[in-house]
Homo-oligomer: A and B are copies of this chain.
Amino acid sequence: MQPEILPLEQFLPYRLNRLAEAVSREFAKTYRDRHGLTRPEWRTFATLGQYGSMTATAIGTHSAMHKTKVSRAVAALEERKWLTRTPDPADRRIEHLALTKAGLTAYREMVPLAKAFERELLGKLGAKERDALLGGLHALQSVLSLDPSET
């Protein structure tokens, strides 16, 4: 009896990583080519566009990034004049971050591109496959407590 083998191609952590990497890489072209944003910058940017105004910590927990990543992304976006910091009158540790006019303009331009990307990708799947994928991902998120509602 030969030693037991682990077929890596079928191993869930490996498959997820490969897929995530491929999809992210592909989508990254959209914001990298256009504006030279890095991934953490894009996430920070997208989170702010979605929620309007947040603290750095909130961005981190919500977009699943380490606080140093957020800190650096925020600095970069500020440098780019896409976001501003507003001190909190009550708690001087906190800064409220928000997109500037220029940032918002870029956001409004990016949103349709992002949606188109997703639509096109999912469009390559049949209806059943698409439902299976989205449902399966949701189920896995649930058991891992990665639901949006939970964070």
Contact = CB atoms under 8 A, between A and B. Distances in A.
Interface in A91-111: 104, 107-108, 110-111
B3 A13 contact: no
Contact of A108 (B4, B23, B62, B108): B4
A108 B3 contact: yes
B4 A114 contact: no
A111 B13 CA distance: 14
Interface string A16-49: 1111111110010000000000000001001101
A17 B18 contact: no
Given A8-B43, A12-B121, A144-B23, A135 B137 contact: no
A15 B141 contact: yes
B63 A12 contact: no
A17 B24 contact: yes
A50 interface: yes
B133 A139 contact: yes
Contacts of A46: 6, 8, 11
A148 interface: yes
Residue among A4, A49, A132 with the highest chain B CB neighbour number at 10 A:
A132
Nearest to A10: B148
A16 B23 contact: yes
Contacts of A90: none
A80 interface: no
